[in-house]
């Protein structure tokens, strides 16, 4: 989990995770210099499975997630945002899927800032399917719905400099070198509110020219790697 000023929602999210993981598992927190009570809330939970690391390198969502991943010791890694809620069988279903692939991405239901859950699902919004070229054109890889085997880190890390979306990078690399699986199970309440660090199906704020250049850049990075 990458955190930054997440005090408003983080306790519910962490609780939804801890209910599913065993004593042998860990919840890695990489904090990007929160100025609110995020860290105090995490410490107050007094759970030995929670391991907190400060992101001392470059700041931002992508470096913060890279810091979290580098501290993870497990054979299976689930990426996690600070403000969503995991559905109770998320880990069980993802682990079954990972028997047959290197990376799994599941569907999710949208939820607003006060906890109202919509019947709109992420896959329908993004027309999500597997495939390198499809996801280079319109990305379906969203980190909070992804889990993967540790061995993909051999070719995913380090993240290239200047990329905007770590999850798109991870997904594209596994499309080229491993096996991805998209499953329709809705295993997450995906919270959308004014302070989200990522977009869903909202119209991009980037210019058309920038979007073309960025996709060419991502193609170049994956080709080199």
Mean pLDDT of the chain: 95
Q: How many CB atoms lie within 10 A of CB 204?
A: 10
Q: What is the pTM of this model?
A: 0.93
**Per-residue pLDDT at 196:** 55
Cα–Cα distance measured from residue 163 to residue 168, given in angstroms and rounded to the nearest whole number: 9
Name which of 80, 123, 101, 224 is nearest 174 in CA terms: 101
pLDDT in tens, 122-169: 999 999 999 999 999 999 999 999 999 999 999 999 999 989 999 999
Q: Please report, for residues 36, 78, 85, 213, the alpha-carbon distance to residue 14 in angstroms, rounded to integers and kept in the order given.
A: 17, 13, 8, 37
Cα–Cα distance measured from residue 168 to residue 143, given in angstroms and rounded to the nearest whole number: 8
Whether the CB-CB separation of 173 and 218 falls below 8 Å is answered with no
pLDDT in tens, 23-58: 999 999 999 999 999 999 999 999 999 999 999 989
**Per-residue pLDDT at 43:** 98
Mean pLDDT of 71-80: 97
Residues in Cβ contact with 119 at an 8 Å cutoff, skipping those fewer than 6 apart: 109
């Amino acid at each position: 989990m990458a955190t930054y000023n997440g005090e408003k929602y983080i306790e519910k999210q962490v609780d939804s995770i801890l209910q599913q993981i065993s004593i042998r598992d860990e919840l890695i927190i990489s904090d990007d210099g929160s100025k609110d009570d995020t860290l105090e809330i995490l410490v107050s939970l007094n759970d030995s499975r929670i391991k907190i690391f400060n992101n001392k390198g470059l700041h931002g969502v992508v470096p913060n997630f890279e810091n979290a991943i580098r501290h993870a010791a497990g054979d299976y890694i689930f990426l996690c945002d600070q403000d969503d809620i995991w559905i109770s069988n998320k880990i069980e279903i993802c682990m079954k899927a990972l028997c047959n692939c290197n990376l799994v991405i599941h569907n999710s239901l949208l939820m607003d800032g006060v906890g109202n859950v919509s019947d709109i699902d992420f896959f329908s919004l993004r027309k999500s399917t597997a495939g390198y070229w499809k996801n280079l054109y319109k990305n379906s890889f969203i980190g909070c719905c992804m889990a993967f085997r540790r061995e993909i880190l051999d070719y995913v890390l380090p993240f290239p400099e200047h990329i905007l979306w770590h999850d798109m990078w991870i997904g594209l690399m596994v499309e080229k070198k491993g096996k991805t699986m998209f499953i329709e199970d809705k295993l997450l309440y995906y919270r959308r509110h004014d302070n989200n660090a990522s977009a869903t199906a909202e119209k991009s704020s980037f210019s058309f020219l920038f979007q073309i250049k960025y996709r060419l850049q991502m193609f170049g990075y994956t080709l080199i790697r």
